[in-house]
Amino acid sequence: MIPKVSYHAGTLGLHRATPVANLLLLSGFLIVVLAAPGILVKLGAFGLVMILTALSGEGVGTFLRNIRFVLVFAFVLFLAQALSVREGTVLFPFGLSVTDQGLLAGAQMALRFLVILSSSLLFVLVTDPDRLAHAIVRLGIPYRYGFILVLALRFVPFFRREYRTVREAQHVRGVDASIRSFAGLRRAIRYTFLPVLVSGLTRVDSVAISMKGRCFGLYPKRTVTRKEHWHQMDWATGALFVLLLGITVLARRYAWL
């Protein structure tokens, strides 16, 4: 099941913040989970993501269902680390040799992966790609790179729609493309992956022809008419970024768990 990763228009929470403020908050989450050594800090960061999701009107239950594959993969990472690390005190001497350092390393890895993916998904849900591209251009980044980012964000829901269309066509024709064996994997590649890939390449070709017809990239700079002004929500988002930076510094200094 492909998660629903696309922008949702709204007027609550982070929807009211500018793309630059949301990007700043996302960088704060990345910094705190990659630089802070403690588990409690990462748990707090994930809790903050859930709180911001609820305040933005996205629905925590729906959000968790969309990232259920991320949750499962994070649990797999936890088990892999817990069973592979041999340093520390053995907690279960009979059967599997699980140590306290292994559990700690597994929790660190799983939470790091979970916070990065969940905060990135929240950023995509609340940030308008067009406004983000304009903000990137105003920051001095060439508009070609901004357009590439917009295309990437636009193609994610496109591939999801194409995947759903192909799966519905398979059900109508009685084609079983479930991945339960090597033969099933081959059928899935043939009947699912290839049609979605061909449809995507056709769409890319159409976009390329449209860009060429409109002389995209003819001039080194592009005029941006839309202006963004910071409001209360942007300053609140900036304050959260500063808070995350402060927590990171304190966690590294005092080695919080």
pLDDT tens sequence across 206-256? 877 887 777 776 666 666 666 667 788 889 998 999 999 998 888 888 765
CA angle 211, 216, 222 (to 5 degrees): 140
One domain, residues 164 and 202: yes
Q: What confidence score (pLDDT) does residue 241 get?
A: 92
**DSSP per-residue string spanning 209-234:** HHHHHTTTTSSS-----------HHH
Would you say 74 and 84 are in contact if contact means Cβ atoms under 8 Å apart? Answer: no
Say if residue 23 is in the same domain as residue 122: yes
10: CB partners within 8 A, 6+ apart: 56, 57, 58, 126
- Say yes or no: 52 and 174 in one domain: no
Distance (Å, rounded) from C-alpha 50 to C-alpha 33? 15
Are 201 and 245 within one domain? no
Asked if residue 135 belongs to a domain, the reply is: no
172 and 62 in one domain? no
Q: Does residue 50 sit within a domain? A: yes
Q: What is the DSSP letter of 90?
A: B
137 falls within a domain: no
Residue 166: both structure tokens together: 């192909």
**Largest Cα–Cα distance of the chain, in whole Å?**
70
The answer to whether residues 121 and 234 belong to one domain is yes
Q: pLDDT (tens digit, 0 to 9) for every residue of the chain, 257 residues total?
A: 445 566 677 788 888 888 888 888 999 999 988 888 888 888 888 999 899 988 888 788 888 887 888 888 888 888 888 788 777 677 766 566 777 777 888 888 888 899 998 888 888 888 887 777 777 777 777 777 777 777 776 776 777 777 778 777 777 777 666 656 666 666 666 777 777 777 777 877 787 788 777 777 666 666 666 666 778 888 999 899 999 999 888 888 876 55
Q: Are 156 and 171 in contact (CB under 8 A)?
A: no
What is the pLDDT at residue 242?
92
Domain range for 116 is 13-127+229-254
Same domain (yes/no): 147, 123: no
User: How many separate domains does the chain show?
Assistant: 2
